Amino acid sequence: MSMQRHTRKMPHSLPEGRAPLRRPGAGLPYLDAVSATDSMEHENQRLSAYEHQVKHAFDRIIPCVRKLAAIQYEEDFVPLASERIIDELDLTPPTDVLQKAWTRQLDVKQLVSHLTLATYYRFVSGVQHVNPLAHPQCADFVSFLADCGYHRMDITPCADGRLAHVIRYVLRLPAEVVRRKAYAGAAFAVDDNVAKWAEVELKRQQSAPGTNTKYLKVVAYHFSSIDGEREGCAAHGSDDRKAAEFGRDALLGFKNAVAQGFSRPDAVEGLLIGIDTATDSIVLHTPDLEGSIDIDSSLQSTDCVGMSSDKIRAYVGSYASHSSEGMQRLVSQLIENNLAQLAYVKTNHDGCYPDVGHAERFIGIGVGFDEIQLRNLMYFGYLTTIEEGAPDVDVGLKIFKGLNQSRGLSTPIVIRFDYYGSVAGARERAVARAGRVADALKSRYPDHFAAGDIHYLQLSRDLDTRAAPEFLGSNLPSLTEDNLS
């Protein structure tokens, strides 16, 4: 498969009578010769512009509020502040908060949370219309995956925000078809995954009976080549080996659960990937033909910088000869894809991120958030109840204690449950879940709520439409449906 193909309009270069080199419906009139470098640069510019635009929207909030705090006792503060919020942040001003400033002092905590959550809402509503991270070769990837022997790819990264871009940026895969479920320490729920496997398997038996492809489960743990003793995985105490072992064991647990529960020992294959959150380089621990993974043996994308596709294949062939042919093809492609991300980090950050540590802007919990494919924007905990997701939320709040509470700000949390409107009763169940999670947050963290250290926004979205998420509630009185629209 060619994941990177140079496209350019050159009508005169086509010999007469020759059909354009394109798939039907690809939408581009002509494809020129393959030029991976030009295509990669174009893609990198597109991804960079998007990352900058989204993060900048959040990063303008604090400087704007600082300026407002400085003029809060001016006579015309409310109209002046409102104008600035509209001009600088493109948001509807929370007039109630501004009006109280002259008697009670501007509530900076509330204002920053309000503007952060409102910025998130505007971002997520916009994404539904333009799909800015759409992958150009979704269908190609699905058939490539099938050629490698897999009908589904499912990734569990750590909930750490520095891995939120693993699919679309680090591995350059289509988020449209690769499932992501993040958990603190990549400790995914085996039962939940078995249920997903069974659902996928049932559909596959109906649509493509007799095919013998596998379900590919990937766990992405992480470490940091800079300040690794502090900036590794918080859920594993920055112990890289422990993080890798945990991922390996979780993969084995999932494979065994399907083998024992459904008498299908070969239905699942696991792949363990380690990500250096300082540089986005990857190490891959591939399984042998029995599915065993040796964490002391790995392939490293940094070994392949400057290599052609053929040389990468040869490198993988010599260091992962214990793996199936299909797995070797897949990881060769993942390494090639990751080289594009290494070029991205080199161009934009001189090879190493300035924010080596945590810099998430908010926490997201629930089911959804597919639009968040950006690094260090959101700490994500996939959960349906607080009880099952408690470790994830605990780790998230610990991170935000350092990020926000240490400077007098609250932790903004988006509680979101997406659903398919075509399924009877799905909206009601999603709404009820969002309500239960908000209530459970209040009971689990009463001190945070008493001190005003958690501000949440509850949303749900119908995945059958492109409509903006539905506003369900917030513990910020200023955050209303009217203020968000």
Least Cα distance to 441 among 389, 399, 402 occurs for 389
Q: For Zn ion, which is the closer residue by CB, 89 or 235?
A: 235
Provide the token pair at 426: 């799905």
Strand pairing partners for 378?
362
Size of residue set near Zn ion by CB under 5 A = 4
Q: State yes or no: residue 158 binds Zn ion (CB under 5 A).
A: yes
Which H or E run includes 112?
A: helix 108-130
> For Zn ion, what does the binding mask look like between residues 232 and 271, x meaning CB under 5 A?
-x-x------------------------------------
Separation of alpha carbons 29 and 180, rounded Å: 33
CA distance linking residue 206 with residue 362, whole number of Å? 41
Q: Which is nearer to Zn ion, 174 or 396 (CB)?
A: 396
Stretch that binds Zn ion, among 39-47, 197-205, 227-235, 399-407 (CB under 5 A): 227-235
Which residue, 107 or 160, has its beta carbon nearer to Zn ion? 160
Burial class (CB in 10 A: 0-12, 13-18, 19+), 4: buried
* Main-chain phi, psi angles of 174, to 5 degrees: -75, 120
Does the active-site annotation cover 447?
Answer: no
Is the Cβ of residue 38 or residue 388 nearer to Zn ion in the bound state? 388
Shortest Cβ 234–Zn ion spacing (Å): 6
Q: Reduce the DSSP state of residue 219 to 3 states and report it.
A: strand
Contact 115, 61 (CB under 8 A): yes
**Spatial CA neighbour of 250 closest among 220, 212, 288:** 220
DSSP 8-state secondary structure symbol assigned to residue 282: E
**Distance in angstroms (rounded) separating the CA atoms of residues 101 and 76:** 11
Stretch that binds Zn ion, among 50-58, 78-86, 152-160, 314-322 (CB under 5 A): 152-160
The nearest distance, CB 397 to Zn ion, in angstroms, is 15
- Out of 160, 280, 336, 360, the only residue in the binding site for Zn ion (CB under 5 A) is 160
Q: Going residue by residue from 102 to 141, which x/- string records binding to Zn ion, judged by CB under 5 A?
A: ----------------------------------------
Give the nearer residue to Zn ion in terms of CB position, either 235 or 327: 235
User: Residue 31 has what DSSP assignment?
Assistant: B
| Annotated catalytic residue, options 160, 280, 392, 453 | 160
Q: How far is the CB of 72 from Zn ion (least distance, A)?
A: 39
Beta carbon of residue 241, minimum distance to Zn ion (angstroms, whole number): 14
Q: Where does this chain bind Zn ion (CB under 5 A)?
A: 158, 160, 233, 235
Catalytic residue IDs:
160
